[in-house]
Amino acid sequence: MKSTSVHFHANARAALNDPVLQDALKRLKAGFVVKRREALEGLPDFPAMREAASALKKHILDHLDIYLEQYEAAVRRQGGEVHWAEDAEQARRIVADLCQRQGLRRVLKGKTMVGEEVGLNEELEAAGLEVVETDLGEYIIQLAKEPPSHIIAPAIHKTRGQVGELFSNAHDNDMSGANAPELVAEARRVMRRHFLAGEVGITGANFLIAETGSNIIVTNEGNGDLSATLPKMHIVVAGIEKVVPTLEDATLLLRILARSATGQRMTSYTTLHTGPKRTSDRDGPNAYHVVLVDNGRSRMLTGPYRDMLHCIRCGACLNHCPVYGAIGGHAYGWVYPGPMGSVLTPLITGLDQAASLPQASSLCGRCEAVCPVAIPLPRMLRELRFDGFDQGHVSGRGLLRTWAFLACRPRLYRRISSLLLAAARGLARRGWLPALPGTGAWRRARDLPAPAAQSFSDWWRRRQ
Amino acid sequence: MTSRDRILERIRAGAHHQVPRPRLPEAPAPEGDLLELLQDNLTLAAASHQRCSTQELPAAVAAYLQRNQLPAKLWVSDEAGLVDFHHPDIELHHESPGAETSAALTGALAGIAETGSLVLHSGADRRTALNFLADHHLVVLPVRSVVACIEDAWPLLRELPDWPRTVNIITGPSRTADIEQTIQMGAHGPRSLHILLVH
Amino acid sequence: MSSTVGLLVTCLADLYRPQAGIATVQLLEEAGFRVVFPDQTCCGQPGYNAGDRDSARAIAQRVIAAFEGCEAIVAPSGSCTGMLRLHYPQLFRDDLSWQGKATEFAARSFELLEFLDLHAPELAPPPFPFRTAWHESCSNLRELNRGGAGPRWLKRIPELELCAAGDPEVCCGFGGSFAVKFADISGRMVDDKARGFEEAGAEALVGNDIGCLLNIAGRAHRRGYPLRVHHVAELLAGTAADDPGLGGVR
Ligand code: SF4
Distance A454 CA to ligand 1 centre (A): 47
Q: Which amino acid is at C117?
A: D
Best residue among A311, A321, A377 to mutate for probing ligand 1's pocket (most ligand atoms within 8 Å of CB) is A311
The CA radius of gyration of chain B, in Å to the nearest whole number, is: 20
For residues A1 and A278, what is the distance between their CA atoms, to the nearest angstrom? Answer: 36
Asked whether at least 3 C-beta pairs link A and B within 8 Å, the reply is yes
pLDDT at C249 over 70: no
Which positions ≥6 away from C125 have C-beta within 8 Å?
C153, C156, C157, C158, C235, C236, C237, C238
User: Residue ranges of the domains in chain A?
Assistant: 43-295, 397-463
Which positions ≥6 away from A102 have C-beta within 8 Å?
A200, A232, A233, A287
Find the CB nearest B175 among A249, A268, A272: A268
For residues C79 and C209, what is the distance between their CA atoms, to the nearest angstrom? Answer: 7
Give the residue ranges of DSSP H helices in C70-209.
Answer: 78-82, 88-91, 96-107, 112-119, 138, 149-154, 178-181, 183-199
Best residue among A375, A379, A380 to mutate for probing ligand 1's pocket (most ligand atoms within 8 Å of CB) is A375
Angle at A143 between CA A114 and CA A258, to 5 degrees: 45
Distance A343 CA to ligand 1 centre (A): 11
Q: Residues 56..95 of B with a Cβ closer than 8 Å to A: which?
A: none
Find the CB nearest B188 among A84, A221, A298: A221
Query: Which CATH class, in words, describes the domain spanning C4-118?
Result: alpha beta
Which positions ≥6 away from B75 have C-beta within 8 Å?
B93, B94, B95, B97, B101, B103, B104, B105, B130, B134
Interface TM-score (ipTM) > 0.90: yes
Distance A217 CA to ligand 1 centre (A): 17
CB atoms within 10 A of CB C67: 22
Per the CB < 8 Å rule, is C55 touching A407?
yes
Per the CB < 8 Å rule, is C55 touching A362?
no
Q: Whats the size of chain A, residue-wise? A: 464
Find the CB nearest A90 among B3, B174, B184: B3
Is B15 a member of any domain?
A: no
Q: How far is C68 from chain A (nearest CA, A)?
A: 16
For residues A378 and A310, what is the distance between their CA atoms, to the nearest angstrom? Answer: 15
CA-nearest residue of chain C to A393? C51
Find the CB nearest A445 among C25, C178, C187: C187
Distance A373 CA to ligand 1 centre (A): 7
Find the CB nearest A268 among B20, B174, B184: B174
Is B45 a member of any domain?
A: yes
Q: A340 in ligand 1 pocket by Cβ < 6 Å?
A: yes
* 3-state secondary structure (DSSP) of residue A248: helix
Summarize pLDDT for B111-150 with one digit per residue, the tens: 999 999 999 999 999 999 999 999 999 999 999 999 999 9
For residues B184 and C184, what is the distance between their CA atoms, to the nearest angstrom? Answer: 36
Ligand 1 atom closest to the CA of A338, numbered from 1: 4
For residues A115 and A272, what is the distance between their CA atoms, to the nearest angstrom? Answer: 19
For residues A352 and A349, what is the distance between their CA atoms, to the nearest angstrom? Answer: 8
pTM for this model (two decimals): 0.95
If you average pLDDT over every residue of chain C, what do you get? 95
Q: How far is A93 from chain B (nearest CA, A)?
A: 13
For residues C88 and C62, what is the distance between their CA atoms, to the nearest angstrom? Answer: 12
Per the CB < 8 Å rule, is A442 touching C222?
no
Given the DSSP bridges, would you call strands C204-207 and C228-231 parallel, antiparallel or unpaired? parallel
For residues A206 and A209, what is the distance between their CA atoms, to the nearest angstrom? Answer: 10
Per the CB < 8 Å rule, is A301 touching B129?
no
Q: Which amino acid is at A123?
A: E
Percent of chain A with pLDDT over 90: 89
Q: Residues 93..112 of C with a Cβ closer than 8 Å to A: which?
A: none
The CATH 3.40.50 domain(s) of chain C lie at 4-118, 125-237
CA-nearest residue of chain A to B27? A252
pLDDT at C250 over 70: no
Which of A162, A266, A274 would best serve as a mutation to test chain B binding (most B beta carbons within 10 A)? A266
Q: How far is A90 from chain B (nearest CA, A)?
A: 9
Kindly state the average pLDDT of the residues B27-51: 95
Q: At B112, which helix (H) or strand (E)?
A: strand B110-112
User: Among residues A391, A296, A385, which one has the least CA distance to residue A344?
Assistant: A296
Q: How far is A154 from chain B (nearest CA, A)?
A: 8
Is B4 a member of any domain?
A: no
Protein residue with least CA distance to atom 2, ligand 1: A371
CA-nearest residue of chain A to B15? A62
Per the CB < 8 Å rule, is A322 touching C171?
yes
Q: A258 in ligand 1 pocket by Cβ < 6 Å?
A: no
From chain B, the residues in CB contact with A66 under 8 A are: 15, 17
pLDDT at position B181: 87
Specify the DSSP class assigned to residue A351. G
From chain B, the residues in CB contact with A223 under 8 A are: 187-189
pLDDT at C104 over 80: yes
Q: A375 in ligand 1 pocket by Cβ < 6 Å?
A: yes
Which residues in B112-143 are b (16+ Cβ under 10 Å) and which e?
bbbbbbbbbbbbeebbbbbbbbbbbbbbbbbe
Q: A285 in ligand 1 pocket by Cβ < 6 Å?
A: no
Tell me, yes or no, if B97 comes closer than 8 A to chain A by beta carbon: no
Question: Could you tell me the pLDDT band of residue C92, with boundaries at 50, 70 and 90?
Answer: very high
Per the CB < 8 Å rule, is C185 touching A16?
yes
Q: Would you tell me which CATH number, out of the four given (3.40.50.10420, 2.40.33.20, 3.40.50.10140, 1.10.3720.10), belongs to the domain A43-295? A: 3.40.50.10420
pLDDT at position A397: 87
If you average pLDDT over every residue of chain B, what do you get? 96
User: Among residues A217, A184, A192, A190, which one has the least CA distance to residue A202?
Assistant: A217
For residues A61 and A46, what is the distance between their CA atoms, to the nearest angstrom? Answer: 22
pLDDT at position A420: 86
Protein residue with least CA distance to atom 3, ligand 1: A371
Q: How far is A343 from chain C (nearest CA, A)?
A: 15
Is B142 a member of any domain?
A: yes
A119 neighbors A92 (Cβ within 8 angstroms): yes
From chain C, the residues in CB contact with A359 under 8 A are: 178, 181-182
Q: A309 in ligand 1 pocket by Cβ < 6 Å?
A: no
Domain boundaries, position B59:
37-198
Distance A376 CA to ligand 1 centre (A): 10
Q: What are the distances in angstroms from CA A31 to CA A302, A338, A401, B90, C35?
A: 37, 17, 44, 42, 50
* Order of strands, sheet of A243-244, starting from the edge strand that comes earlier in the sequence: A243-244, A207-209, A214-219, A269-273, B166-170, B117-121, B110-112, B146-147
Tell me, yes or no, if B176 comes closer than 8 A to chain A by beta carbon: yes
Per the CB < 8 Å rule, is B19 touching A58?
yes
A163 neighbors A140 (Cβ within 8 angstroms): yes
Ligand 1 atom closest to the CA of A310, numbered from 1: 7
Q: Would you tell me which CATH number, out of the four given (3.30.420, 3.10.450, 3.40.50, 2.60.40), belongs to the domain C125-237? A: 3.40.50
Distance A110 CA to ligand 1 centre (A): 21
**CATH code for the domain in which residue B161 is found:** 3.40.50.10420
Find the CB nearest A298 among B7, B154, B184: B7
Distance A259 CA to ligand 1 centre (A): 12
Q: A314 in ligand 1 pocket by Cβ < 6 Å?
A: yes
Q: A313 in ligand 1 pocket by Cβ < 6 Å?
A: yes
Which of A320, A351, A364, A402 would best serve as a mutation to test chain C binding (most C beta carbons within 10 A)? A364
Tell me, yes or no, if B160 comes closer than 8 A to chain A by beta carbon: no
Asked whether at least 3 C-beta pairs link C and B within 8 Å, the reply is no
Partners of chain A (3+ Cβ pairs below 8 A): B, C
Question: Could you tell me the pLDDT band of residue B29, with boundaries at 50, 70 and 90?
Answer: confident
pLDDT tens for chain A, 464 residues long, are: 778 888 999 999 999 999 999 998 988 877 899 999 999 998 889 999 999 999 999 999 999 999 999 999 999 999 999 999 999 999 999 999 999 999 999 999 999 999 999 999 999 999 999 999 999 999 999 999 999 999 999 999 999 999 999 999 999 889 998 999 999 999 999 999 999 999 999 999 999 999 999 999 999 999 999 999 999 999 999 999 999 999 999 999 999 999 999 999 999 999 999 999 999 999 999 999 999 999 999 999 999 999 999 999 999 999 999 999 999 999 999 999 999 999 999 999 999 999 999 999 999 999 999 999 999 999 999 999 999 999 999 888 888 899 999 999 999 999 998 898 888 888 998 899 999 888 899 999 999 999 998 999 999 999 88
For residues A423 and A425, what is the distance between their CA atoms, to the nearest angstrom? Answer: 5
**Number of domains composing chain B:** 1
User: Among residues C188, B183, B178, which one has the least CA distance to residue A150?
Assistant: B178
